[in-house]
């Protein structure tokens, strides 16, 4: 029997409102997930509107294709959003990126994202390609493990966790399951944040690394400037500080006119984004959906002509 995993979309109405949808426009849901945002966008679009959805997760793509089968306005791309630039210059009126891991991914033990359920240590968004975390851990050396845990998990006990993983490999062989990894981390992280499992930061770090999430986000943000039409909206929902800092720097950096220091008398390069703003989930949503508590939505409007 196939289990149905529920997913509660974060900032659903706020994100759709931020896109400022015009009925005949073309919009991009760059992280389809289970389609909550996409369905709301389709409700706001008219018969001539179009929606293109991206996702790497085969399970998400199955849901997206089922949606497209009943709605000719939907185009599905089984790709990460780094491929956003393939849509062409000035081809979209709005781009939405929801960077969170979906509840079905977290809650399904077979995906290996969560330390709360024992399962294979996988964590790949696209299970059809690439290394799993378990495979990577077989050969990653201690300096590499330390760097990944420190830089992507912001874990101050990164060195201790890396050494504990290496010690376990030497004594008992490869780390294969989420429970095994969580127990190793729990033994290495001596001071725990109130209400947070000691494995949280290490699991985050390995997931971000194995899926090249930050590198892909940087590519997608850059591509959005080319894809958006003047007046188009870029809406990004982040769930941890590394992503949000990257999005904030990108938006604010492109919301300033740039002076070429090599040619100080030349006209400054005009800003590419304007009307940069931030939206937090309302208290009621956080109460109803605890996974919304860390969400930050940033919005910007494309100015002028595409870069």
Sign of the torsion formed by the C-alpha atoms of 83, 8, 210 and 108: negative
Terminal Cα distance for the chain, rounded: 50
| Per-residue pLDDT at 116 | 83
Question: How do residues 179-220 score in pLDDT, each as one tens digit?
Answer: 999 999 999 998 877 878 899 999 999 999 999 999 999 999
Residue 14 makes CB contacts below 8 A (sequence gap 6+) with: 279, 281, 297
Residue 41 lies in a domain: yes
What is the CATH classification number for the domain harbouring 171? 1.10.150.170
What is the CATH classification number for the domain harbouring 262? 3.40.50.150
- How far apart are alpha carbons 27 and 37 in whole angstroms? 11
**Residue 52 sits in the same domain as residue 134:** no
Reported pTM: 0.89
Contact 198, 181 (CB under 8 A): no
For residues 20 and 289, which has the higher predicted lDDT (pLDDT)? 20
| Per-residue pLDDT at 2 | 42
What DSSP designation does 271 have? P
| Per-residue pLDDT at 3 | 44
Q: What is the mean pLDDT of residues 232-258?
A: 91
Question: How do residues 69-116 score in pLDDT, each as one tens digit?
Answer: 999 999 999 999 999 999 999 999 999 999 978 777 777 888 888 888
Consecutive H or E run containing 10: none
Domain boundary among 192, 210, 228: 210
Q: Is 204 exposed, middle or buried (0-12, 13-18, 19+ CB in 10 A)?
A: buried
**Residue 204 sits in the same domain as residue 250:** no
| Per-residue pLDDT at 155 | 95
Query: To which residue do tokens 């000691």 refer?
Result: 198
Sequence-ordered alpha helix ranges (H) in the chain: 12-18, 36-44, 58-69, 103-107, 133-137, 142-153, 158-172, 178-188, 200-210, 213-227, 241-253, 283-288
Residue 88 lies in domain: 12-104+213-302
Contact 7, 108 (CB under 8 A): no
| Per-residue pLDDT at 236 | 97
Question: Roughly what angle, to the nearest 10 degrees, separates helices 158-172 and 142-153?
Answer: 140
- Does position 282 have pLDDT exceeding 60, yes or no? yes
Q: What is the mean pLDDT of residues 49-64?
A: 95
Question: How do residues 33-48 score in pLDDT, each as one tens digit?
Answer: 989 999 999 999 999 9
Residue 3 lies in a domain: no
87-122 per-residue burial string, b: 16 or more CB within 10 A, e: under 16 = beeebbbbbbbbbbbbbbbbbbbebbbbbeeebebb
- How far apart are alpha carbons 232 and 91 in whole angstroms? 10
| Per-residue pLDDT at 258 | 58
| Per-residue pLDDT at 5 | 45
What is the share, in percent, of the chain residues with pLDDT greater than 70?
92
| Per-residue pLDDT at 195 | 75
- Does position 4 have pLDDT exceeding 60, yes or no? no
| Per-residue pLDDT at 8 | 76
| Per-residue pLDDT at 268 | 53
Please give the tally of structural domains in the chain: 2
Residue 6 lies in a domain: no
Residue 255 has a CB neighbour count (10 Å cut-off) of 16
| Per-residue pLDDT at 55 | 95
Q: What proportions of the chain, in percent to the nearest 5, are helix, strand and coil? A: 45, 15, 40
Q: What is the mean pLDDT of residues 217-234?
A: 96
DSSP notation for 296-307: EEEEEEE-SS--
Domain boundary among 180, 210, 240: 210
What is the pLDDT confidence band of residue 257, given thresholds at 50, 70 and 90?
A: low
**Residue 218 sits in the same domain as residue 267:** yes
Consecutive H or E run containing 92: strand 92-98
- How far apart are alpha carbons 217 and 238 in whole angstroms? 11
- Does position 295 have pLDDT exceeding 80, yes or no? yes
- How far apart are alpha carbons 62 and 146 in whole angstroms? 36
Question: How do residues 261-274 score in pLDDT, each as one tens digit?
Answer: 665 554 555 678 99
């Amino acid at each position: 029997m196939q289990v149905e995993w529920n997913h509660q979309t974060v900032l659903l109405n706020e994100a759709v409102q931020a896109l400022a949808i015009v009925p005949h426009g073309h919009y991009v849901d760059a992280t389809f997930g289970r389609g909550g945002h996409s369905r709301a966008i389709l409700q706001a679009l008219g018969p001539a509107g179009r929606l293109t959805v991206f996702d790497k997760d085969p399970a998400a793509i199955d849901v997206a294709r089922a949606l497209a089968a009943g709605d000719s306005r939907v185009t599905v791309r089984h790709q990460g959003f780094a491929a956003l630039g393939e849509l062409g210059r000035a081809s979209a009126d709005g781009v939405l990126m929801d960077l969170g891991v979906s509840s079905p991914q977290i809650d399904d033990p077979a995906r290996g994202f969560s330390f709360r359920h024992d399962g294979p240590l996988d964590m790949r968004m696209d299970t059809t390609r690439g290394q799993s975390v378990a495979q990577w851990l077989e050969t990653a050396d201690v300096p590499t493990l330390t760097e990944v845990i420190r830089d992507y998990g912001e874990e101050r006990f990164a060195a201790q966790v890396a050494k504990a993983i290496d010690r376990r490999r030497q004594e008992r062989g490869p780390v294969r399951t989420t429970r095994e990894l969580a127990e190793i981390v729990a033994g290495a992280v001596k001071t725990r944040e109130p209400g947070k499992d000691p494995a949280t930061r290490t699991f985050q770090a390995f997931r971000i690394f194995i899926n090249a999430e930050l590198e892909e986000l940087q590519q997608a943000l850059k591509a959005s400037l080319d894809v958006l039409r003047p007046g188009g909206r870029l809406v990004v929902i982040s769930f941890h500080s590394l992503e949000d800092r990257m999005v904030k720097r990108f938006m604010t950096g492109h919301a300033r006119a740039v002076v070429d220091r090599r040619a100080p008398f030349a006209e400054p390069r005009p800003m590419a984004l304007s009307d940069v703003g931030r939206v937090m989930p309302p208290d009621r949503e956080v109460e109803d959906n605890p996974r919304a508590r860390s969400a930050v939505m940033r919005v910007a409007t494309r100015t002028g002509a595409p870069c």
